[in-house]
Amino acid sequence: MITDTHTHFVLREFDLLEGLPPRTASASFDAAEKAIGILGKYGIGRAWACTLEGLVDDTAPYNRFLCRLARRYPVRVAPFCTVNPHLGERAVQEFREMVLKRGMKGLKLHNWLQAVSNMSRWVERLVDEAGRMGVPVLFHDGTPPYATPLQIARLAGKFPHTTVVLGHSGLQDLYPDAIRAAKQHANIYLCACSASHEGLKRMVDRVGPGRILFGTDGGFGDFSGLVELHLDLVDSLGLGAEDREKILWKNAHTIVPDPHTAGPGEGGKTEP
């Protein structure tokens, strides 16, 4: 099944320029279920689900929301937590709890929105801890001053036991650095989310289809439009079936196994 490795599931749809909507006592799954429905319509059966509000607000309520969503949709939703590295040890403990007790599948860091340098000792602790727990770190990248590919590559080099995903592969201006980073460090994967046709083609040529992931940034804007745009982007490469499958889902499943193949305890049969 196609896996979208870069999505944001929100409690309620909102515009960042308008501010966060007030939190309600009981979170609704409506917006997330609408997103899951859209993904399904395009054949995307699984999503690495990150928060959006939690990148600029307290993280805990949004991490809990994603956990509840994943319990309802254990196949379609692979929940990624986020934490605020500025909180130091508390952030590390929250991350550990989210993975070890709540079963979250990875960590999302957005250094630009979270206003934290990748030189932070607490970012380093989190990346190290991710590797120790066997989960990946999905970074926003492509944006100076805090989220450039080579800054993140330094972390990947320092913690080679951790799988590091460049969530935008450098965006428009820095994709050549994303390619350099991936060639230097075997633990770096490149997400095709927001890549240009030319940029993605070079990634496939120079890094190989075995380390490229499909992603849409859905939730950071209109879900349908983003999904269609990124499926078109992959199609525009004219790849053979094997390479296309690697990018659309096989690579993702080597990082976060599909529960169908992950053994008992997780499965899609209970999904409504």
Partner 1 sequence: MSKIIDVHCHLNARRDVRALLRRMDELDIEKAAVCAGKAAIAYDNRRGNRMLAGVVKEHPDRLAGFASATPWSGQRGLTELRRSLDAGLRGFKVHSHLQGFRLSDEILDPFVEICREYACPVYCHTGTPVTAMPFQLACLAGRHPEVLFIEGHMGWSDFWYDAAEAARLAPNLYLETSHMFGGTIEAAVRSLGAGRILFGTNAPVSHAGTEVSKIRRLQIPDRDIRAILCENARKLLP
Taking the mean position of all CA atoms in its chain, how far away is CA 46? 12
Sheet holding 188-191, edge to edge: 2-8, 44-50, 77-81, 106-109, 137-139, 164-166, 188-191, 212-213
Report the nearest approach of partner 1 to the CB of residue 252 (Å).
Answer: 22
Give whichever of 216 and 251 is closer to partner 1, judged by the CB atom: 216
Report the nearest approach of partner 1 to the CB of residue 240 (Å).
Answer: 18
- DSSP 8-state assignment for residue 23: P
Give whichever of 240 and 265 is closer to partner 1, judged by the CB atom: 240
Residues in region 83-112 near partner 1 by CB under 8 A: 112
Stretch that binds partner 1, among 23-31, 60-68, 121-129, 224-232 (CB under 8 A): 224-232
> Are 215 and 6 in contact, with CB atoms under 8 Å apart?
yes
Report the nearest approach of partner 1 to the CB of residue 187 (Å).
Answer: 25
By CB under 8 A, tell whether 270 contacts partner 1: no
d(CA 7, CA 215): 7
Stretch that binds partner 1, among 22-30, 54-62, 125-133, 191-199 (CB under 8 A): 191-199
By CB under 8 A, tell whether 117 contacts partner 1: no
* Angle value at C-alpha 118, between 114 and 120, nearest 5 degrees: 90
Give whichever of 144 and 160 is closer to partner 1, judged by the CB atom: 144
Rounded to a whole number, what is the distance in angstroms from the first to the last CA of the chain? 18
Report the nearest approach of partner 1 to the CB of residue 48 (Å).
Answer: 19
By CB under 8 A, tell whether 205 contacts partner 1: no
d(CA 215, CA 3): 8
Of 94, 69, 92, 89, the C-alpha closest to 79 is 69
By CB under 8 A, tell whether 229 contacts partner 1: yes
Task: Specify the 3-state DSSP secondary structure of 255.
Answer: helix
By CB under 8 A, tell whether 228 contacts partner 1: yes
By CB under 8 A, tell whether 271 contacts partner 1: no
| Distinct helix (H) and strand (E) counts, the chain | 11, 8
Residues in region 155-184 near partner 1 by CB under 8 A: 168, 171-173
Report the nearest approach of partner 1 to the CB of residue 198 (Å).
Answer: 5
Write the burial class of residue 270 (CB in 10 Å: 0-12 exposed, 13-18 middle, 19+ buried): exposed
By CB under 8 A, tell whether 215 contacts partner 1: no
> Are 245 and 34 in contact, with CB atoms under 8 Å apart?
no
**Binding stretches for partner 1 (CB under 8 A):** 17, 112, 142-144, 168, 171-173, 194, 196-199, 221-222, 225-226, 228-229, 232-233, 236
